[in-house]
């Protein structure tokens, strides 16, 4: 069993881990790409669309307001909202990488518990009986 446990530990070390700072950096360059890096495709797509949509709408509104000689209020609002989406996208990519790594670790812990430390195995080998009723 100890050899099996060492093999499982080696397999855990070989599991993919993602770098949260790289995910944030990728999303800073191209919104949503950090989420794609961590396999959160729906989050990446929505981050890209919301950020591009609000910043693009702000740019279009700015051109329309400037051409009309009007104050730049709507474009400023779209720009601020777009900036908030952009910053949330970068932070979301970082958190997405942390969640990915935590999921991989929890999945490994559960596999180890099921394989080596479940109550049936302990009861059979030690002679101790555990109560399952709470």
State which of 4-13, 16-25, 63-72, 100-109 shows the largest mean pLDDT.
16-25
Please say if the pLDDT value at position 128 is more than 80: no
Structure tokens at 75: 């474009």
- Rounded to two decimals, the pTM is 0.76
pLDDT in tens, 59-110: 999 999 999 988 888 888 999 999 999 999 999 999 999 999 999 888 888 8
Is residue 27 within 8 A of residue 90, CB to CB? The reply is yes
CB 79 within 8 A of CB 65: no
Band of pLDDT at residue 53, cut at 50, 70 and 90:
very high
Q: What is the spatial distance between Cα 64 and Cα 42, in angstroms, rounded to a whole number?
A: 32
For residue 69, report the phi and psi dihedrals to the nearest 5 degrees: 70, 30
CB 26 within 8 A of CB 6: no
Range list of H helices, 15-72 = 20-29, 33-37, 41-68
pLDDT recorded at residue 109: 81
């Amino acid at each position: 069993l100890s050899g099996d446990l060492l093999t499982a530990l080696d397999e855990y070390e070989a599991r993919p881990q993602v770098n949260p700072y790289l995910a944030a950096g990728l999303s800073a360059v191209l919104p949503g790409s950090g989420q794609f890096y961590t396999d959160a495709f729906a989050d990446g797509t929505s981050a890209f669309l919301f950020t591009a949509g609000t910043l693009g709408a702000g740019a279009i509104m700015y051109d329309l307001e400037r051409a009309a000689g009007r104050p730049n209020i709507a474009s400023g609002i779209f720009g601020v909202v777009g900036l908030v989406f952009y910053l949330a996208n970068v932070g979301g990519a970082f958190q997405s990488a942390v969640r990915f790594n935590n999921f991989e670790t929890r999945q490994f812990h559960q596999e180890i518990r099921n394989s080596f430390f479940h109550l049936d195995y302990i009861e059979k080998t030690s002679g101790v009986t555990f109560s399952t009723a709470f």
